[in-house]
Amino acid sequence: MKIHLIASLLAIFSTTILHATTINYSTSDINGTGLAASVTITPTFDVSNQSLTLLINRLVGNPKSVIQGLSSVDFTVTGGLTGNLSSVSGQLITIANNQSFANISGTPNWQQTSAPSDFLTTTLVGKNKNVLIGAPAVGGYTNSNGSIAGNNGHPAWVREELTLIYNIIGITANTNLTSLTLGFGTGPFLVTADRLIPGSETGVPEPGTALAMLSGVAALAGWRKLKK
């Protein structure tokens, strides 16, 4: 019984462990334009599935210019691990001349364009430039100028949130981002945000794992009672 219980506990504790942190960037004047810009990036490393998920959101709402939109992310990870972009998701929208918007179906055109160990991922490739922008106002993108509203060079935008998933072999509980550069607008204006990356990340088990761990503790307590 003791051997079986130990084996069960090992199975419980070997379930998927995720660890994540939150990186916030904001400025009141992006590249001397007088325009505010902000973004939050949450990288989540999945040890079991050997993947990294970047959740990107919280950009400036009802932006005036495309300069306030995010067009690229460039990063490296601990140990120079290599990998590839496997999934892109986000809500595509069109923005008309009258500043109204409409949801459309499709996958955002974001591609990994650099060597496997340098995860430069951008929408500034091909004709479909799907820049990520913040939330609209009640009446639409009422602050937007011609770089957003009715801009034929941007047939669609990503609204509010973008998710990028990468397959990276070699991820451990200690794997982190080791550099981060953000690209705003179509220039793009590049911002090195390495200083925003914490020196270490705290392991955060997903809800199912947390429950499993609690069950394991309860089982161990019960076994101790039986042993007595």
| CATH code of residue 45 | 2.60.40
**Is residue 103 domain-resident?**
yes
The model carries a pTM of 0.80
178 occurs within a structural domain? yes
Q: Is residue 81 part of a domain?
A: yes
Please check whether residue 214 lies inside any domain of the structure: no
Asked whether residue 165 is assigned to any structural domain, the reply reads yes
Q: Distances in Å between the alpha carbon of 17 and those of 49, 77, 177, 206, 210?
A: 9, 18, 17, 7, 9
pLDDT confidence of 212, banded at 50, 70, 90?
Answer: very low
Structural domain contains residue 6: no
Question: Quick check: helix, strand or coil at residue 79?
Answer: helix
For residue 187, give its domain range: 21-198
pLDDT score recorded for residue 6: 36
Contacts with 48 (C-beta within 8 Å, 6 or more apart), sequence order: 15, 16, 17
Q: Is the pLDDT assigned to residue 28 strictly greater than 90?
A: yes
**Per-residue pLDDT for 31 more than 60?**
yes
Residue 208 maps to a domain: no
DSSP state letters, 3-64: HHHHHHHHHHHTS--EEE--EEEEESSGGGSS--EEEEEEEEEETTTTEEEEEEE-PPSS-S
The verdict on residue 172 lying in a domain is yes
> Tell me: the pLDDT tens digits for 95-118?
999 999 999 999 999 999 987 788
Choose between 207 and 32: higher pLDDT. Answer: 32
pLDDT at residue number 16: 55
Distance of CA 185 to the CA centre of its chain: 18
Per-residue b/e over 109-138, b at no fewer than 16 CB within 10 Å?
bbebeeeeebbbbbbbeeeebbbbbbebee
SS3 sequence of 119-145: CCEECCCCCCCCCEECCCECCECCCCC
Domains held by the chain: number: 1
The residue among 206 and 175 whose pLDDT is bigger is: 175
The overall average pLDDT reported for the chain is: 83
